[in-house]
Every structure is written in structure tokens, then in C-alpha cells.
Amino acid sequence: MLKLTEGFKFTKGDSIHISRREPYPHLTGMLNGKTIHIKYFGQTTLGMFDRSLPGHRLGELKILHKEFSSIFKDSKLKW
């Protein structure tokens, strides 16, 4: 399950993305004054790797998870 730690604040929006420093899909935010990355495990979308494409924001992923639950069941997201 992708669970956001209490006190976690998004700093780069609610997109699951990769970066040069963190090449795996993750969310970026602040917790206790420090930047943290929460890893995303499971089915990915192209949008997680290329932000010009859809399917990388939490709301979009929630829709995909509901519509294609058999594909996204291993993402460990729980709504």
C-alpha cells in the first residue's frame, strides 16, 4: 500500500515521477523539514517517466486503478 506518512507535504505536486537522483518511481515531499521520496511499487504508467503523458498524478492513477484493477492490483495502492 502506498501510504503517506503523517505530516508529509507535497513539494512537486502529487505526481509519481522519476528523477536523475532517484531513478525509480516516487513521490517527492517534505517531512520534518527534510526532502523525502516515497517509493511507488507496482504497475507503472508512461506518465511516471514522461510528465507530458497522462497517468502519473494520484487522481489519474486512482481512476486507472479502479478501471483496470486486474492490472494495477499489485501497485499496493489502497483508496
pLDDT tens for each residue of 47-63? 999 888 877 898 888 88
- Structure pTM? 0.78
Q: How far is the C-alpha of 58 from the C-alpha of 33, rounded, in Å?
A: 23
Strand 34-39: give its sheet, edge to edge. 9-10, 26-31, 34-39
Q: How far is the C-alpha of 48 from the C-alpha of 29, rounded, in Å?
A: 16
Domain boundaries, the chain: 9-75
Look at residue 70 in the predicted model and tell me its pLDDT.
80
Average pLDDT value for the chain: 84
pLDDT tens for each residue of 26-44? 999 999 999 999 888 778 8
